[in-house]
Structure 1
Amino acid sequence: MCTRVFWNDNPIAKVASRSMDWAVSDEPDLWFYPAGLERVGGPQADAATWTSVYASVALSMWQIGTVDGMNEKGLAAHALFLYDVEPEAEDARATVSLAMWVQYLLDHFDTVADAVEHVADIRIIAPPIRGQYMGAHIAIEDASGDSAIFEPINGEMVVHHGAEFTVMANSPTFDEQLANRARYRPFGGELPPPGDITSADRFVRASYFRHYLPEPRNLEQTVAGVLQVSQNVAVPAGAPYDDGGIYPTWWHSASDLTNLTYYFWSTTSPNVIWAELPELAAQTEVLSMNPRAEHLVGDVTGLLVPAALVY
């Protein structure tokens, strides 16, 4: 349903890419959020409130929360579907809904280590979205090459922290994905890379092709490299899962954490677009645009326009 890959061991730039797979389009909008925004972690009575420390560019999902983005310090965060979510038990901490978790991270933290240190400051909850239960886990990475995976499972927050955690897909849990990958080469086993669209197969295949990415000669090849891997694990329109469900890839993003450029490619368009966060960071108002328009191509930094904060 979604896959994330992080290329953090090349000499040019630290770049992450992710795909968005779902039964219907999540109708993403591209946003710029300045520092100093007053935010809330959802409509619940015990929701956390905060003031954003860092500016960010982000993609919204149905204009109800942030699903992907990067902040001005080069920290990126990505929410991917996970069946196995069981949030922590209720306690006295303020809460943040899954739909606002990515934005909370972008607003607060400049490094993965800082986010990991403060992961227990708030409690994540999983209310229905559009009347449907949607679990999620989060991948984050930063400009140093550090990475972490956050999974609210079995009533606790499970954290995998380390630069080696460069791939994430969907269910099963991350521990189970790693164990399955160990059956394949070059990760300890002898099996060749699998070719199905299931989460387990996408996890192995993304790991395999990321492992063999050749050293890039320039930034263009670096960004293209992670997008190639992301495209390799994309789900073509109409391709069914074993249960008959169809969850095609609607878009890919790429976060250049070194140069603070955020890329977006809608699979209904032949064109990649991007926004330059350094050019936006001095702005003091919320900006937005529809990144799915088929005529868009190239740098769209100047096309974001003032917009009302809708979530």
Structure 2
Amino acid sequence: MRKTKPIVAALLAGTALLAQGVAASACTSLILKAKDGGVVYGRTMEFSLPMRSQAMVMPRNIALAGTGPSGAAGTGLNWTGKYAAVGLNGVGEKIFVDGMNEKGLAGGLLYLPNLAQFQEVSAAEAKTSIASFEMLTYVLTSFATVAEVKAALPKIKVNQAPQATFKGPVPTHMTLHDATGASLVVEYVGGALHMYDNPTSVLTNAPAFDWQITNLGQYVNLSPVEPNPMTVGPLTIAPPSTGAGLHGLPGDTLSPSRFVRAFFFSRNAPQPATTEEGLTTLHHIMNAFDIAPGSVVTKADSAAGGGVSGDETTEWTVYADLKNLRYTFNTYDNPNLQVIDMAKVKLEGKEPRLFPLASTPVMTPIGQ
């Protein structure tokens, strides 16, 4: 494993940012910690390419086979899933794009175009490797904590196997959080594994994570506290409204801007007393990252949005309770909450089970 020095990495990532532009794919993720020991995890999924996500339940103790560098199914690492996991898949595959396991380890794959570069894997190493799009599935079915992931990932390789829908390797990085509140970012940049403890808990997209941390230094002046009026001779000059303490907070949908907003919103949120209060706060924070149709339009000739043209929208937003093991989400078509409660679903079986997402909102009648 090789870690790049933050300043050097920031300069390199910044150069790539200027040369290539920041691609779309506006995923945003973070956690909140409650005073009762609960941890809640939020994440949005934005893409122009339809993800066609379904809910997925992965039973414990099932045989799983990874994809080798050739892209042929079953040619990579074989493992037995130790833990059951639930979450959301993508593009018809039985792999997690986002999810949580029965030990409270949760996380997601977020797009990292133009920067993600996975490991070179020889034919002899194929059986100890997985494809980039299988990273989260491997982790959620194999480990209980962030510490276990950190110890195990250097022992396998993540290869550059192509995925049919993406017509090549899927350029992702991974955010992980466990029931203690520990957070980890996993990136493959320059063909090497980089793992970062993440005290901010926040992750978005490109540039790489260490660049995002360096970039936060530009905003240390921001505060939720209202500034005092300024006096100039006989004049008193006061802010025109509340909110002046966060004046300068970037409001666009670029991933560095979303990283800064997610950091300040989660950092400044009053610590909830209970996990349920944490979920309520999380809902309000994640609402700030919902992308309205027409505000981001991608082009087919770029890596943005999966290489298709069209409006990028928030396809779904996750609100996961790592203490009570309830994985809740809503979708673009249906703002009503849908939940996979791990205390109520069958966690035994021989195959992953897929379930369609409810697409029709249900209104609650009042006064009838």
TM-score range, shorter chain: 0.7 to 0.9
Summarize the alignment of residues 1-311 of structure 1 with structure 2, pairs less than 5 Å apart. 1-8=26-33, 10-11=35-36, 13-42=38-67, 43=72, 46-64=75-93, 65-83=95-113, 84-91=115-122, 92=125, 94-129=128-163, 130-133=165-168, 134-162=170-198, 164-185=199-220, 192-240=248-296, 246-280=311-345, 282-285=347-350, 286-295=352-361
In structure 2, what residue type is equivalent to 1:181? L
Once residues 21 and 241 of structure 1 are traced to their aligned partners in structure 2, the CA distance between those partners, rounded to angstroms, is 12
Per mean C-alpha deviation after superposition, the further-off stretch among 135-144 and 34-43 is: 34-43
Runs of 4 or more off by more than 4 Å in structure 1?
241-245, 295-298
Kept in 2, the 8 Å contact 1:197–1:241? The answer is no
In structure 2, what residue type is equivalent to 1:80? L
Please state whether the residue corresponding to 2:348 is helix, strand or coil: coil
Please state whether the residue corresponding to 1:288 is helix, strand or coil: strand
Change (3 A) 1:296 1:222: same
In structure 2, what residue type is equivalent to 1:204? V
Please state whether the residue corresponding to 2:176 is helix, strand or coil: strand
1:233-256 CA distances to partner (integer Å, 9 max, x unpaired)? Answer: 222121126979642111001221
Please state whether the residue corresponding to 2:349 is helix, strand or coil: coil
Question: CA offset at residue 68 of structure 1?
Answer: 0.6
Per mean C-alpha deviation after superposition, the further-off stretch among 89-98 and 55-64 is: 89-98
Identical positions, percent: 25
In structure 2, what residue type is equivalent to 1:180? N
In structure 1, what residue type is equivalent to 2:254? T
Question: CA offset at residue 206 of structure 1?
Answer: 0.6
In structure 1, what residue type is equivalent to 2:121? E
Once residues 157 and 260 of structure 2 are traced to their aligned partners in structure 1, the CA distance between those partners, rounded to angstroms, is 31
1:21-77 CA distances to partner (integer Å, 9 max, x unpaired)? Answer: 000321111111111111111235740011100011021101222101100001012
Once residues 20 and 151 of structure 1 are traced to their aligned partners in structure 2, the CA distance between those partners, rounded to angstroms, is 18
Structure number with greater Rg is 2
Change (3 A) 1:183 1:27: same
Kept in 1, the 8 Å contact 2:317–2:330? The answer is yes
1:206-263 CA distances to partner (integer Å, 9 max, x unpaired)? Answer: 1111111123244332112223222212221211269796421110012211111101
Kept in 2, the 8 Å contact 1:13–1:219? The answer is yes
Please state whether the residue corresponding to 1:182 is helix, strand or coil: helix
The CA RMSD over aligned residues, in Å, is 2.4
Kept in 2, the 8 Å contact 1:251–1:267? The answer is yes
TM-score by length of 1: 0.87
Please state whether the residue corresponding to 2:260 is helix, strand or coil: helix
Once residues 268 and 159 of structure 2 are traced to their aligned partners in structure 1, the CA distance between those partners, rounded to angstroms, is 38
Any stretches of 5+ residues in structure 2 without a counterpart?
Answer: 1-25, 224-245, 300-308
TM-score by length of 2: 0.74
Change (3 A) 1:141 1:63: same
Kept in 2, the 8 Å contact 1:29–1:60? The answer is yes
Please state whether the residue corresponding to 1:118 is helix, strand or coil: helix
Change (3 A) 1:292 1:62: farther
Change (3 A) 1:10 1:24: farther
Kept in 2, the 8 Å contact 1:261–1:276? The answer is yes
Q: How many residues align?
A: 296
